Amino acid sequence: MPTIHYSECPLCSSTNLKWVFDVKDYTVSGKEFSIIHCEDCTGRFTQGIPDVDEIGVYYKSEDYISHTNTTKGFINTLYQRVRRITLKQKAAIVKQHTGLQTGRVLDIGCGTGAFLHTMRAQGWQVTGLEPDADARAVAQKTYKIVAQPSHELFILPEGSFNAITLWHVLEHVHALHEYLERMKKLLTPQGVLFIAVPNYTSKDAQVYGKYWAGYDVPRHLYHFSPKSMKLLVEQHGLQIAQMLPMWFDSFYVDMLSSKYKAGKVNYLSAGLHGLASNINALGNVEACCSIIYVVRAVE
């Protein structure tokens, strides 16, 4: 299987790199992948990833919730219940930061279409892109959302979206810089880009180390710190207007991390770690397990 080996940081092109540790793929293959740290931008990346044409097999698991909408197991059932709350929160965030009650939204990596369904119900015109054909089929069957393959990003009309959202998607994108440049062009002059990603500098990531579920190799190609995200978007004439916490993520991620570390979930321990992570992030969003970056073009 063709793999990609980076000799420089895919975020900032620095060659000032160091190996951190090897992380196991607990979802599909059981293989280990190295995590590499960039000393300059503080971003991290997964070394030896499958190329864009081959990585699809690493998403083929009935436990991969964003593609299957599964309720199998307690963790996924809990995820589904919490998602009903977070979908409304995300919709409110989009409306607040665009200043619009209705508009046009593009959701990149829309999965099974739940977020677009929520936005459409609130009067928004919705467009979804999703690389996985099975997930697109679920979106159409469940919500009548007709998502398009991801490569259609590059043929959508420029200046046509008030909001572009990537809910835990940017870390999966091979063509990282090409995507950022294209998304900038697709936004209206006052449009807003919403990027949600895990934060490897969070307290729970430090607690679990190589077992932290936020690494999710090899599906997560990059592992962002707030500093690395700031430097990344600035390369494309964009700026972070605000950072928002994703409080629920720490509990979900810590339950998976507990399972990876011990072979089964210690719900009490995972819950306490999640709570400790959130308390540590109070008043300091940069310490949160996952962060929503509200991004605008530089004026």
Closest CA to 295 of 244, 248, 223, 249: 244
Domains and CATH numbers, the chain: 3-297 (3.40.50.150)
Kindly give the residue spans of alpha helices, DSSP state H, lying in the chain: 65-68, 73-98, 114-121, 133-143, 176-186, 203-208, 226-234, 249-262, 267-281
> What percent of the chain lies above the pLDDT cut of 90?
84
Please state the three-class secondary structure of 98-151 as a single string.
HCCCCCEEEEECCCCCHHHHHHHHCCCEEEEECCCHHHHHHHHHHHCCCCECHH
Cβ atoms of 110 and 130 within 8 Å: the answer is yes
Confirm if 197 and 286 have CB atoms less than 8 A apart: no
pLDDT digits (tens, 9 = 90+) for 71-113: 455 556 666 667 778 999 999 999 999 999 999 999 999 999 9
Q: Quick check: 228 pLDDT over 50? A: yes
Task: Tell me how far apart the alpha carbons of residues 153 and 150 are, in angstroms, rounded to a whole number.
Answer: 6
Residue in 113, 170, 122, 161 with CA at minimum distance from that of residue 140 = 113
pLDDT in the model for residue 61: 78
Per-residue model confidence (pLDDT) at position 12: 98
In this prediction, residue 68 has a pLDDT band, given cuts at 50, 70 and 90, of very low
Q: Is 279 helix (H, G, I), strand (E, B) or coil?
A: helix
Residue 147 has pLDDT above 90, yes or no: yes
- Diameter over CA atoms, the chain: 50
Task: Give the CA angle between residues 124, 130, 131 to the nearest 5°.
Answer: 170
Q: Spell out the residues 6+ positions from residue 232 whose beta carbon is closer than 8 angstroms to its own.
A: 11, 12, 41, 43, 176, 180, 224
The mean pLDDT of 238-252, rounded to a whole number, is 94
Q: How far apart are CA 98 and CA 103, in angstroms?
A: 9
Sign (positive/negative) of CA torsion 284, 223, 29, 77? positive
Using the predicted structure, report yes or no on whether residue 66 has a pLDDT greater than 70.
Answer: no
pLDDT band at 62 (very low <50, low <70, confident <90, very high): confident
pLDDT band of residue 3 (cuts 50, 70, 90) is very high
pLDDT of residue 104: 98
Least confident among 73-82, 86-95, 129-138, 249-258: 73-82
Q: What is the pLDDT of residues 6-52, one digit of tens each?
A: 999 999 999 999 999 999 999 999 999 999 999 999 999 999 999 99
Q: What is the pLDDT of residues 263-280, one digit of tens each?
A: 998 888 888 989 989 999
Query: Full-prediction pTM beyond 0.75?
Result: yes
d(C-alpha 212, C-alpha 206), whole Å: 8
For the chain, give the mean pLDDT: 93
Cα distance between residue 9 and residue 82, in whole Å: 35
Using CA atoms, how far apart are residues 40 and 174, in angstroms rounded to an integer?
21
Q: What is residue 65's predicted lDDT score, i.e. its pLDDT?
A: 47
DSSP state at residue 267:
H
Check residue 83 and give its pLDDT: 74
For residue 294, pLDDT beyond 90: yes
Report the pLDDT value the prediction gives residue 79, as an integer from 0 to 100.
61
> Looking at residue 70, what is its pLDDT?
53
What gap in Å lies between CA 256 and CA 26, rounded to an integer?
Answer: 10
